[in-house]
Amino acid sequence: MCLKNSPIALPFWRFHHLKSRVLRTAKVEIEFKIITSAARIPSLKEGAIDLAIATMTINEERLKEIDFSVGYYVAGQRILVPQTSAIKGLSDLANKKVGAARGTTSAANLKQMTKAQVVEFDTWAAATQAMLAGQVDAVSTDDIILYGLQLANPTTKVVGSQFSYEPYGVGIAKNNPELLNAVNTVIKNLKSSGKWKTLWLAEVGNKIGVTVAPEPPSDEWKR
C-alpha cells in the first residue's frame, strides 16, 4: 500500500493520535489537505484524497458512494448564538436565519426539522463570522465543532440540547480494503487501550470544563 503524498482531509477537532498512528501503521508519507465539507466525497471518489478524517457523519446515503471506518466519535447537533441572543433551543429557530456549511448533514437536519431560513456557507468559520456580523441569527452543527467555534469566539455560546445523532467515521474511497483495515485497527486500538479517553480530555474536556470522559462509541455506527 502506498499513500506517499496522498492528501487527507483534516477535521475541525484534530484526531492527532488517529492520524499519527495511521501514518506509523502504514509506514508512508502523508500529505494533509484542508478541504470544504462539500468537497469530501467528491475528493475521495476522484482520488484527490485517500482519507477524510473530517467530523464526517456515517449514514446510508453516503455509504452508497464511499466506505467508512468503524465509528470513532458520536456528536449531536446543537446551536451557536451570540451571548446576547434570546435563542435557547431548536423551537426558537422558526423564521430565523441559521448558518450551516454546504453539503453537511447539519444543513439537511435544519431544513427537515425547523422552519428556519438556512443560509449555507463554504465553511463553519465563514458561517460564524456572518453571525457575528449580524447576517444570520445562529449557526447550527455538531456540538464538537461548536465548542471549537465558541472557544475561538468568546462572545458566543452553545445553547439547546442535542437534536441529532452524528456518528463519525473516517471516509475512505471504495475498493481499498487494505487501507480500511489499517484505519479500523488504529481506531479499535485507541478505544480499547484507554487512549481515546485521554485524548478526549486533552482535546475537548479540559477546554470546555468537563473532567470525566465519556465512553468511546461502539464500532457499529447504527444505534
Task: Confirm if 155 and 82 have CB atoms less than 8 A apart.
Answer: yes
Alpha helices in 31-153 (DSSP H): 40-46, 60-63, 105-113, 124-132, 143-152
| Nearest-angstrom CA–CA distance, 223 and 165 | 9
pLDDT band for position 33 (cuts 50, 70, 90): confident
Q: Do the domains 6-73+167-208 and 77-159 sit in the same CATH topology, yes or no?
A: yes
pLDDT for position 8: 41
80 compared with 147, residue with greater pLDDT: 80
* CATH fold for the domain made of 77-159: D-Maltodextrin-Binding Protein; domain 2 (3.40.190)
pLDDT tens track for 160-181: 999 999 999 999 999 999 999 9
SS3 state at 137: coil
pLDDT for position 54: 83
pLDDT for position 13: 42
| Nearest-angstrom CA–CA distance, 27 and 16 | 16
Select the CATH number that applies to the domain covering 6-73+167-208 from these four: 3.30.479.30, 3.40.228.10, 3.40.190.10, 1.10.8.290: 3.40.190.10
Average pLDDT on 189-213 reads 89
Cβ within 8 Å of residue 159, ≥6 positions away: 78, 79, 80, 81, 85, 87, 88, 89
145 pLDDT higher than 80: yes
40 pLDDT higher than 90: yes
Query: Over the chain, what is the mean pLDDT?
Result: 88
Average pLDDT on 190-201 reads 91
pLDDT tens track for 59-114: 999 999 999 999 999 999 999 999 999 999 999 999 999 999 999 999 999 999 99
pTM (predicted TM-score): 0.82
7 pLDDT higher than 70: no
Domain boundaries, the chain: 6-73+167-208, 77-159
Cβ within 8 Å of residue 110, ≥6 positions away: 93, 98, 100, 116, 118, 140
